[in-house]
Structure 1
Amino acid sequence: MIAFRPACSDDYSFALGLYTEAIRPLASAWMKWVDVDQEALFASLWHPNDTMIITLDDRDIGWVEFRQAEDELFLKQLYISPAYQRRGIGSRVMRLLLEERCRMAKSMALFVLKNNPALRFYTRHGFQIVRETHTTLVMRCAMAEAA
């Protein structure tokens, strides 16, 4: 069973490891990856109060971070351990998030690296590209249309 639990400071190493595993190969296309610099950046951006650990049968398998900004929910991070990817878990997580948060916001927005295969995932869930930078796409979806 997929569930969420609040993150705590003890989850830092798990979250950092999953972030590094997922982002290093993608970000390396645009920049030189320096572990110590990226770990410092991650430490400055880690907000356990905004983060939920994704569990499957009480086993930690990922994490998600989001923030509310007026009438929009911003999905800052969503990571699923590679061993659990391509099993529909990400889609279940997205549906659970939307069910839990749909009354709190009119839309959900996110950034995704242009070379991230997750772009297809977000498109399948109703997100559309609304802006782009050199390396990222900004995507948005009305909460009623997402799922």
Structure 2
Amino acid sequence: MTIDLRPACSDDYVFVLDLYHKAIKPLANAWVDWVDEEQEAQFANLWRPDDTKIITLKGEDIGWVEFRRTGDEVFLKQLYITPKRQRQGIGSQVIRLLNEQARTAKSMALFVLKNNPAFRFYQRHGFEVIRETHTTLVMRRAMAEAA
């Protein structure tokens, strides 16, 4: 099963927002009173289609990833895969593709909610906690490490 990453466009917004809500709302409810309208406004303000790729499998949109290169580091802002496609190695393929696209970067960093099961996925890919806040863990790994 091989995935592709295609550039996001404005037509992808509904898919991206829906998947974000399904993934984050149950986790964020532990810390905030989730109000759909407020979260949608915040998401609309922060979403960067130029930094976003849609994850596809045989032409079907199955997820999305947002990342940005800043200096010597790649910041993995968001990675979401539809529930029916999770735990099939797709996230690992995305990490490998990001590694290939950012070969000259020295490190990759991300934030993950403390109660997000994806924390273990990132650990398996060599990310280590370097700092934490009330709600999130800041993780980093050297790009030379195997994904």
Q: TM-score range by the shorter chain?
A: over 0.9
What residue ranges of structure 1 are gaps of 5+ in the alignment?
none
- What letter is aligned with 1:123? Q
Checking the alignment, whether the CA contact within 8 Å between 1:126 and 1:146 is kept in structure 2 is yes
SS in 2 for 1:110: strand
Q: Deviations over 1:112-137 (max 9, x none)?
A: 00000000000000000000000000
Name the residue aligned to 1:109: 109
Checking the alignment, whether the CA contact within 8 Å between 1:66 and 1:77 is kept in structure 2 is yes
Name the residue aligned to 1:40: 41
After the TM superposition, which parts of structure 1 deviate over 2 Å for at least 4 consecutive aligned residues?
none
SS in 1 for 2:17: helix
SS in 2 for 1:22: helix
Q: Give aligned-pair identity as a percent.
A: 71
- What letter is aligned with 1:65? E
Cα distance between partner residues in 1 of 2:123 and 2:106: 18
Give the TM-score taking structure 2 as reference length: 0.97
Kindly report which structure 2 residues correspond to 1:1-147, keeping only aligned pairs within 5 A, or say none. Answer: 1-103=2-104, 105-147=105-147
Checking the alignment, whether the CA contact within 8 Å between 1:113 and 1:137 is kept in structure 2 is yes
Checking the alignment, whether the CA contact within 8 Å between 1:98 and 1:146 is kept in structure 2 is no
What's the offset of the Cα at 1:11?
0.5
Between the two proteins, the alignment pairs up a number of residues equal to 146
